[in-house]
Amino acid sequence: MFVLSIVGAIIIGYLCKGQLSNLRFVQIKGIAFIFASFIVEWIAKILLNQNMIELGNVSWSLHLFTYILLGVMIAKNWEKGSIKLIGIGTLLNALVIFSNNGIMPVGTWAMERLGIPEGATLQGMYLVMHDQMHFKILADILPIRIMNRGFILSIGDLFLIAGLMIIIIYGMKKETCRNYSSTGFPS
């Protein structure tokens, strides 16, 4: 879903007479922390899917490390308005994940709406929601279908997507690029 959001933001940026090359003026401190967090999460998912580790202390620790890396980048850029949206989304997702032992619950209603069978096995750090899980309202419960593909998002994901799209759209707009070099992002 995040890839589609990036593509959508780029299209909107072009429709607003922006240029992709203008993104070079957008300054994000600690951007390496974002890439590192994606790499850690990717490795954790591979290890889980290959049954090299199980959901538990190791996967929880890897998930925690991912969120620490994201938190460092967010803290370094907190003065930027769009990063605050990303920070809120990250916090909401972390709350539900870590209150459920490092696992993101996925709502059965959302699965049904997208035609995912009731007994489906979810890969990675996801489990089908059950009664003992916490903060269910913040879990992956929002079914979305785009171009014949189904996605299940959380409220935190919506904040993350909004922040990411704002960065890209405003970053592409030529008339605002000069402001980015000194202040970062729109407030």
| Maximum Cα–Cα distance across the chain | 53
Look at residue 75 and tell me if it is in a domain. yes
Q: Give domain status of residue 180, yes or no.
A: no
- Kindly report the pTM of this predicted structure: 0.84
**In whole angstroms, how far apart are CA 7 and each of 36, 86, 108?**
22, 18, 29
- Residue 142 domain flag: yes
Q: Is 149 within the bounds of a domain?
A: yes
Task: For residue 105, give the nearest of 150, 67, 135, 80 by alpha carbon.
Answer: 135
At 147 the pLDDT is 84
Counted domains in the chain: 1
Q: List per-residue pLDDT tens for the chain, 187 residues long.
A: 778 899 999 999 999 889 999 988 888 899 899 889 989 988 888 888 888 877 777 778 888 999 999 999 999 999 988 999 999 999 999 999 999 988 899 999 999 999 988 767 676 678 889 999 999 999 999 999 988 888 999 999 999 999 999 999 999 986 544 444 444 455 4
- The verdict on residue 123 lying in a domain is yes
- Evaluate whether 144 touches 153 at the Cβ level (below 8 Å): yes
- Does 14 reside within a domain? no
In a domain, 187, yes or no: no
* CA gap 98, 61 in Å, rounded: 10
- Domain membership of residue 114 as a residue range: 31-164
DSSP string, 18-40: --GGGGGG---TTHHHHHHHHHH
Residue 85 lies in a domain: yes
How far, CA to CA in Å, does 31 sit from each of 2, 19, 28, 141, 146? 17, 21, 6, 29, 29
